[in-house]
Amino acid sequence: MANLRTSAIICSVRQHGEHGAVVRSLTPDNGLMAGYVRGARSRTMRPVLIPSNIVQADYRARTEDQLASMTAELQKSRGPYLGEPLASSALDWVTALTAAILPEEHSYPQLHSALSALLDAICGAPSAKGWAVALVRYELLLLSELGFGLSLDKCAVTGGTEDLVYISPKSASAVSKGAGQLYKDKLLPLPTSLKDPGRPEWDDIFDGLKVTGFFLKRHFFQDRRNDVMAARSVLVDRLKRVVA
């Protein structure tokens, strides 16, 4: 990638030097891209470089190994939602997660579409229940795209497809009620919303968040970047307060 002009979802902004920043953004065709933005901390650029904003980005690099310079023009701002604690924490989490675990410059068009739709839902749905299930499904999609997908169509023990109510934390596979009865305390719940989209209740949604959180932490955050998972804890706590 020497020169590229593309739409991009801002995912993270990390200060670099006195005035600049390294910005990671998810693009439709080129995946996660990193670029250095001069003057990123200026009054003009701060409202543009907000994680979850959509920008028109221009990347320029002299060599393939060089960090590209990046300029950005605002296409869609989600700045107004930063004053809403629940929406703000959701936007923070999904963008930070995406920036933290995706390898750079690998194409993930399905993830880009899913993230774009999720961000729209967070900002546009009349209630949190309208986007909470989409959040669980986005986390599942991330796991799948990176090679850690869950197998939920049949029991890992019997091979049967009926009465699947658990997930094995070891194999990330479904387990039937009968097969898991003796060691159910060591299993994760299998939320019905992961098998049947429907209109799940909050208990089912929180079960889904428990499952995806367990596997995200195991595969990506076991020994590093716990600050990213802390953002998820803030979000889940705020969701629970809303329900209560």
- Closest C-alpha to 94, from 201, 216, 176, 3: 216
DSSP state of 239: H
Q: What are phi and psi of 105, to 5 degrees?
A: 60, 35
The Cα 94–Cα 111 span in angstroms is: 12
**pLDDT (0 to 100) of residue 25:** 98
CA distance to 75, 170, 214, per residue, from 188 (Å): 41, 10, 9
Tens digit of pLDDT at every position of the chain (244 positions):
568 999 999 999 999 888 899 999 999 999 999 999 999 999 999 999 999 999 999 999 887 778 999 999 999 999 999 999 999 999 999 999 999 999 999 999 999 999 999 999 999 988 898 899 999 999 999 999 999 999 999 999 999 999 999 999 999 999 999 999 999 999 999 998 887 767 788 999 999 999 999 999 999 988 765 678 999 999 999 999 988 7
**pLDDT (0 to 100) of residue 225:** 56
DSSP state of 67: P
**pLDDT (0 to 100) of residue 2:** 64
**pLDDT (0 to 100) of residue 226:** 60
The Cα 50–Cα 229 span in angstroms is: 20
β-bridge partners, 14: 22
